[in-house]
Amino acid sequence: MSKSPHISVLLNPSIDALNIKPNGIYVDGTFGAGGHSEHILKYLKSGHLYAFDQDLNVNPSKDLRFKDHPSFTFIQRNFASMTQSLKHVGVEQVDGILLDLGISSMHIDQAERGFSYMHDGPLDMRMDQSQSLTAETILNTYEHHQLLRIFRDYGDIEKPHIFANVIMKHRPYQTTHDLVKVTDVFFKNKKGHTAKAVFQALRIEVNQELNVLEDVLQQSLSLLKPEGRLVVITFHSLEDRIVKHFMKDHSMIKQLKGLPVLSNDLPPFKLITKKPIVPSLDEISMNPRSASAKLRVSEKQTNHSII
C-alpha cells in the first residue's frame, strides 16, 4: 500500500503565530517529519531552534534540511523533558514554543507501529519504542476498572463498562485486526469506523498524552520570555479542552473589581486567539486529516507597573 506523505497542518498560520525574531530561540516540541521546523529555520539568522521527538525512528541528521545546520539542535526526548533538556544545553528561556499534537502520517501508515485500524499489525502504539507499555499489554492485562477509565475518559465510548467486559471476554489480542473484529460487532451501528475512538483511547493511555501535555503547558509559564508565544495545534476535543482552559485560566486578571491593576496582578499570558484558528476548506480538501485541527495561541506578558 502506498504511504501518504506527511503534510504539516496549519503550517503558515502556526509559523505566523510564533512571530519569529531572527535572533530568537524557539522550540518545536513535536518534530515529526520536520515540516514546521524547516519553516522556522527560514526565519532565523543568529537565532536557534531546538526540536524534540521521542520517536527513535526520527533522525534529522540524515535529512539534508537539518544535517549540520548551525541553527538547529535535535533532542530525542519527549517534550515533557523540555525545561530539563534545554537547561542541559544552557538555555533557560525561549521566544516561542510550537506543539503540533497530531499523530503523523508516517505513524498511521506504518502497520508495524499499530496506530491504525486500517492496517493489520501488532498492537503497539508506542511513540517511544523504548518504553515497555503497549496497547497489547493494556488489552490483555488491565483490570475492568482500568479499561473502563480509558474507554470512558479517553474515547467517550458508549457503554464503556459493558465494552470493558467484552474486551476481557475476548482475550487474548495480538494484532490490530483482532481488536477491530470486536469493535465491528460491538459498535456495528456506529457512524464512521467502529474502532476509531477505541484506538484513540488506547494510544492516549500508552503514551500518557494528556498528562505530558498538561506538564509541558505548565513548563511554558517559566520557559517563555516576555512576548514569547505558545502555539498549540490539537486534533481532538480532549487535547483542545486542556489547551483552551490552560490559556484562558492563565490570561485572566484575578483582582477585585474597581481596583487598579498592578504589575503583580497581571496574568502570565494574554490570549492572541480568542477563538481557535482552523484549516481552510482548501487545506482540508488537500489534506483531509487536517479537518479536526485547532490552533490556539497565547503570549507571555511583559511587566508593567500599572495599566
Instruction: Give per-residue pLDDT as tens, 230-241.
Output: 999 999 999 999
Instruction: Give per-residue pLDDT as tens, 3-26.
Output: 445 678 999 999 999 999 999 999
How much is the pTM?
0.91
Average pLDDT over residues 123-140: 96
Q: Which residues of 192-213 are buried (b: 16+ CB within 10 A; e: fewer)?
A: eebbebbbbbbbbbbbebbebb
Q: Across all residues in the chain, what is the average pLDDT?
A: 92
Average pLDDT over residues 216-241: 97
Task: Locate 208 and state its grid cell.
Answer: 500518557
**Residues contacting 83, CB < 8 A, separation 6+:** 219, 222, 223
pLDDT of residue 3: 45
pLDDT of residue 306: 34
Average pLDDT over residues 277-306: 88
Q: Which of 76, 89, 161, 175 is nearest to 127 (CA)?
A: 76
In the chain, the amino acid numbered 2 is S
CATH numbers and ranges of domains, the chain: 11-100+209-300 (3.40.50.150), 107-207 (1.10.150.170)
Q: Which of 172, 56, 183, 34 is nearest to 113 (CA)?
A: 56
Instruction: Give per-residue pLDDT as tens, 144-173.
Output: 999 999 999 999 999 999 999 999 999 999
Give DSSP secondary structure letters for 40-69: HHHH-SS-EEEEE---TT--GGG-TTTTT-
pLDDT of residue 101: 95
Phi, psi of 263 (to 5 degrees): -60, -35
